[in-house]
Structure 1
Amino acid sequence: MIFRRLNEVIGTERDVKADNGNWVSRRLLLAKDGMGFSMHDTTIFAGTKTYIHYANHLEAVYCVAGKGEIEDLETGVTTQLEDGVLYALNGHERHYLSASEDMRMICVFNPPITGREVHDENGVYPLLQA
């Protein structure tokens, strides 16, 4: 059984900040934990807009605080995000994620990430081995 507390992750190698300052991701479960998925507690900071394209991963995101929006660049549809809204990128959709308030998101990735990933110039997390 695995137990992990958020306050024990903050300030460790599992506490990953975007180079551009748009977000911070606290990686609660990683590939090496052997669960078949990874789980993150991520804050998207107010006033930011991030281009993302998870070409190598599926992601489900549950917003638990804050407000923002996701713009699906495949369809042009923009959806408002707030506490209680889930979205799942089941088709590797290219998108913009924008926050009007700090948004706290619970994110699940499949395949699981190793913890070293950050978005590359194309908004992609590389597929790394644990």
Structure 2
Amino acid sequence: MIVRNLEQAAEAGRKIVSPDGNWDSTRLLLKEDGMGFSFHITTIFAGADFDMHYQNHLESVYCISGEGEVESREDGAVYPIMPGTLYVLDQHDRHTLRAKSEMKMACVFNPPLHGTEVHNSEGAYELEAEPIQQTT
């Protein structure tokens, strides 16, 4: 059994901050945990507006708090995001995420992330990254 606390995980080095300042993500489950997916609690900061294209991963995102929108760059459809909304990037969808207010999101990635990933120039995570070096 794996039991983790969000605050303790962040303090143990599992919190990653995006270089561009759009988000931070505490990675509660990673590849090394052997579950076949990773699970993160991600904060998207108010005013963030950025493009992503997860070429190597599928992702599901559940909004816990805050409001924003996700736009499909394939067809231009815009979907509001508010608490209780789930969106699933099941086709490696090119998308733009916009935060009207700070949003807390629960995110699942398949295949699982190693832990240190941040978006590359195409808005994707690399398939193979360095594992987080855990502190005790």
Question: The TM-score by the shorter chain falls in which range?
Answer: over 0.9
Give the counterpart letter for 1:120 in structure 2. Answer: N
- Using the TM superposition, give the Cα deviation of residue 122 of structure 1 relative to its aligned residue in structure 2, in angstroms: 0.6
DSSP-derived class of the 1:12 partner:
helix
Residue correspondences, number: 130
Deviations 1:58-106 (A, max 9, x none): 0000001000000000011000000000000000001110100000000
So what's the TM-score if we normalise by structure 1?
0.97
Residue 55 (structure 1) aligns with: 55
RMSD, aligned α-carbons: 1.0
CA shift, 1:15, in A, is 0.3
The structure 1 segments of at least 4 consecutive aligned residues displaced by more than 6 Å after TM superposition are: none
The answer to whether structure 1 residue 113 and structure 2 residue 103 are counterparts is no
TM-superposed CA distance for 1:9, in Å, is 1.4
Q: Give the equivalent residue in structure 2 for 1:42.
A: 42
Percentage of matched positions with identical amino acids: 50
Partner of 1:21: 21
The Cα of 1:116 is off from its aligned counterpart by 1.3
Contiguous gaps of at least 5 residues in structure 1: none
Q: Distance in 2 between matches of 1:52 and 1:25?
A: 15
Tell me which residue corresponds to 1:126: 126
Work out whether 1:32 is the aligned partner of 2:20.
Answer: no
Which consecutive unaligned segments of at least 5 residues does structure 2 have? 132-136
Question: Normalising by structure 2, what TM-score?
Answer: 0.93
